[in-house]
Amino acid sequence: MQAIIKTEGLSYIYGKGTPFESRALNNVDFEAYEGELLGIIGHTGSGKSTFIQHLNGLLKPTKGRVLLSGRDIWADGSDIRQVRFKVGLVFQYPEYQLFEETVFKDIAFGPKNMGLNENEIRARVLEAADFVGLGKDILDKSPFELSGGQKRRAAIAGVIAMQPDVFILDEPTAGLDPAGRDALLANIREYHRAKNSTVILVTHSMEEIARTVDRIVVMNQAGILMTGTPHEVFSSAPQLEAVGLSVPQITKVFMRLKSMGLPINASVYTTEQAVDAVLSLTGGGTHA
């Protein structure tokens, strides 16, 4: 698989040269492949947000390089504006960045900056709104008339409308209720399936990441602790727990059952998967 975005020896220090110097990234080597749905997990303060802000050039490395399609984004002659169109970043609590008169204009802001024509902008806004489940009736409203969840969706649609090659979401489900969270994760999976572009989901929830992504990068203390499929990562439960991350309860139960000799699949992260696993044990097939 080809890496679309890569970092080499990436380090970042906040407030370098001041008494408040703080090393937020330490020598990070990272790769995300074309078309993959990748998760980045780590507890608060591990460096996730600092890291992803390097991927679209919002922060400049103190040391090391960021390569987009093999090219150093900070090399002489590189156009950082183009990098920001290609690597779309949804910040944590993005709803605070809505500022236009209508939801339509807010979603259209990125495509407009890219210099697209009216027809193309309109088509992209409608498609992006559809991906996040915002109806057409919402588009002419003021963002301030929307519910919290709808505002979040509008802000996410604004990045989707730029049709980035790499789409990064920083804790997109933070503060949503369980139904809102599940619906948004389903939207993200659907977007990835339809566009086949690279999607990077940042979260601190193991349950959330396990049922959404294909590969996980675990961050801890300004670096990458491990990388692997959800199954591989969860097989290192003690190592995860040592850094304050816990494997989903249901996964622990199934790993334990397997170690006790039951002929079951140990890759169980959700209640639905647990039901399937139990039914297959009793020969009952999959649940409806």
Q: Which residues bind ligand ADP (CB under 6 A)?
A: 14-15, 22, 24, 42, 44-50
53 binding Mg ion? (CB under 5 A): no
| DSSP codes of every residue in 150-181 | HHHHHHHHHHHTT--SEEEEESTTTT--HHHH
Piece in contact with Mg ion (CB under 5 A), picked from 47-55, 128-136, 150-158, 175-183? 47-55
Are the CB atoms for 248 and 211 separated by under 8 Å?
A: no
119 binds, among Mg ion, ligand ADP, none (CB under 5 to 8 A by kind): none
Kindly give the residue spans of alpha helices, DSSP state H, lying in the chain.
48-55, 80-86, 103-113, 118-131, 148-160, 178-195, 206-210, 230-234, 237-242, 249-259, 271-281
Binding mask 236-255 for Mg ion (x = CB under 5 A): --------------------
Piece in contact with Mg ion (CB under 5 A), picked from 42-50, 209-217, 230-238, 264-272? 42-50
Produce one character per residue of 4-23: b if its CB has 16 or more CB atoms within 10 Å, e if not: bbbbbebbbbeeeeeeeeeb
d(C-alpha 160, C-alpha 89), whole Å: 9
* Strand partners of residue 3: 33
87 vs 255, beta carbon nearer ligand ADP: 87
184 vs 255, beta carbon nearer Mg ion: 184
49 binding Mg ion? (CB under 5 A): yes
DSSP 217: E
Give the 3-state secondary structure of residue 195.
Answer: helix
64 binds, among ligand ADP, Mg ion, none (CB under 5 to 8 A by kind): none
22 vs 196, beta carbon nearer ligand ADP: 22
Least separation in angstroms between CB 48 and Mg ion = 5
Tokens 């156009």 correspond to what residue? 79
Least separation in angstroms between CB 227 and ligand ADP = 16
Least separation in angstroms between CB 204 and ligand ADP = 8
174 vs 194, beta carbon nearer Mg ion: 174
Least separation in angstroms between CB 218 and ligand ADP = 11
Number of residues this chain uses to bind Mg ion (CB under 5 A): 2
56 binding Mg ion? (CB under 5 A): no
Which amino acid is located at 262 in the chain? L
* Strand partners of residue 261: none
48 vs 192, beta carbon nearer Mg ion: 48
232: tokens are 């591989």
Binding region for Mg ion (CB under 5 A): 48-49
